Amino acid sequence: MVYHTAPNTLNPSSRDDATSLDASPARRPDMTSPATGAPAPAAASGDGISIRRVRTNEEYDACVRMQHAIWGEDFTESVPATILKVTQQIGGVTAGAFDASGRLLGFVFGMMGSMDGKLVHWSDMLAVHHDARNKGLGRRLKLFQRELLRPLGVERMFWTYDPLVAKNAFLNIVRLGARPTEYVVDMYGSDTHSALHSGLGTDRFIVAWDLTKDGGANTPSEAERETAALKAPVANALATGDGGDASPPAELPDADIVRVEVPADVDAVIARDISAAATLRASTRRIFTHYMDRDYRVSGFSHLTPDNRYFYILSRNGS
């Protein structure tokens, strides 16, 4: 399904996975989980990083500072500390990744709602400090979020991401097992006053994550399908895998499985040539809307090495 404006049933503020600056909140004693009254769970690991609910005013303020550091001081869609805090009183989640000294390395924020008579969760924001990349914190924060929601009977979680960001696609589709369900053109408008969105608009995939499954890496059947998809036609092969030639053919392939290539690092494309990035956005928009309007679904995502090329796998009728 493709929306050319944000659908009425899903109307989050503008958020995407990003990096952040330093923040150093003080530690306080554990609070109880607002939704259950039980002690709030925490997840620790051998690297000294703990994942737990945000619980002090200083920590909420650190989350706000992180938003401005990532999306810019003029970003109009930031979530204030009060909303981050009170959302947890009604089943929402504001959780952080903290190092041994209590420094905030990243956080995730989401809110509760209902759809078709069932509880659902909208994960509105995920941010990780640039110094804490490559530690798997994005995945760890999402898994912690899932474990908080399961006891409440929540079976589905939704969020958005930019289809051109390969690292986020790999996390969402391969590592977590979520699936894009809708392509939304300029979901948050053409200008959010954030440098991260400048010139490209805010086209987004809405993804759905089935919380009743453990998720993670592709299942054997999915892995076999991904291997078979390597022979599928490519709708827009990039000349070098980095956004060099973004123009799709006049007629897109008519096959049960097609692949759509995205650059390994869209930020590098933007930095090098914003007009090339804009062309890439326009071409992939055309491709995704064409296929999803015809009942294709994103069924996988592949990373080809050593060429370092990334492809969405789209299957007719979601097969």
- The 10s digit of each residue's pLDDT in 195-241 is 554 568 899 999 999 999 986 555 555 666 667 788 899 999 786 65
- Nearest partner of 318 among 257, 266, 267, 274, judged by Cα: 257
Query: From CA 200, how far away is CA 43, in angstroms rounded?
Result: 37
pTM of the complete model = 0.82
Distant-in-sequence, close-in-space partners of 313: CB < 8 Å, separation ≥ 6:
225, 226, 229, 232, 257, 258, 259, 298, 299, 300, 301, 302
Please state the domain extents for the chain: 2-210, 220-316
pLDDT at 240: 60
* 13: confidence class by pLDDT, cuts 50, 70, 90: very low
Distance CA 166, CA 310 (A): 7
**Are the CB atoms for 311 and 302 separated by under 8 Å?**
yes
Query: Do 96 and 49 touch, CB atoms closer than 8 A?
Result: no
d(CA 310, CA 168): 11
> Quick one: CATH architecture of 2-210?
3-Layer(aba) Sandwich (3.40)
